[in-house]
Amino acid sequence: MEFFLFNLIVAISPYKFAEKHFHNNPGFCTEDFLEPLEKFPESVLLERRKKRSYISSILSKNEINRNDKYNRMLFLRTGHGRYILNPKLEIKIQDEWRPLYTLMGIDLDVE
């Protein structure tokens, strides 16, 4: 599920970062995922995985500073219940590692 959320954030980040109010309180909250996830049929995403509490648990379990052997360090908490993708994530293209936010065309000023 963490990679499902990762891909959803990659898909909607350019739109969210373009919103002026997003920079005042950067990060995605559970609410940002509920509507898009509703649209997926049960055969793609089980109903229990569309619940607010489940989504919150996946985000917090994978925070970059969390000490858990299953932590994928995908998300940075920017405030209470608000997350962005780990600013240090890089994607390997051929033999070169490139910053994810650069590839998405987003100038990230949150650390």
Is 17 contained in some domain? yes
* H-run or E-run covering 79: strand 75-79
| Mean pLDDT, residues 24-30 | 83
Is 49 contained in some domain? yes
Is 57 contained in some domain? yes
Judged against a pLDDT cut of 50, whether residue 84 lies above it is answered with yes
Is 109 contained in some domain? no
Range of the domain at 38: 2-103
Is 110 contained in some domain? no
* 37 and 50 Cβ atoms separated by less than 8 Å: yes
Residues 86-110: pLDDT tens digits?
999 999 999 999 999 999 888 776 5
Q: Give 111's pLDDT tier (boundaries 50, 70, 90).
A: very low
Task: State the average pLDDT for the chain.
Answer: 90
pTM of the model: 0.85
Report d(CA 105, CA 57) in Å as an integer: 29
CA-atom Rg of the chain in angstroms: 14
Task: Name which residue leads in pLDDT, 107 or 45.
Answer: 45
Is 53 contained in some domain? yes
Give the total number of structural domains in the chain: 1
Is 108 contained in some domain? no
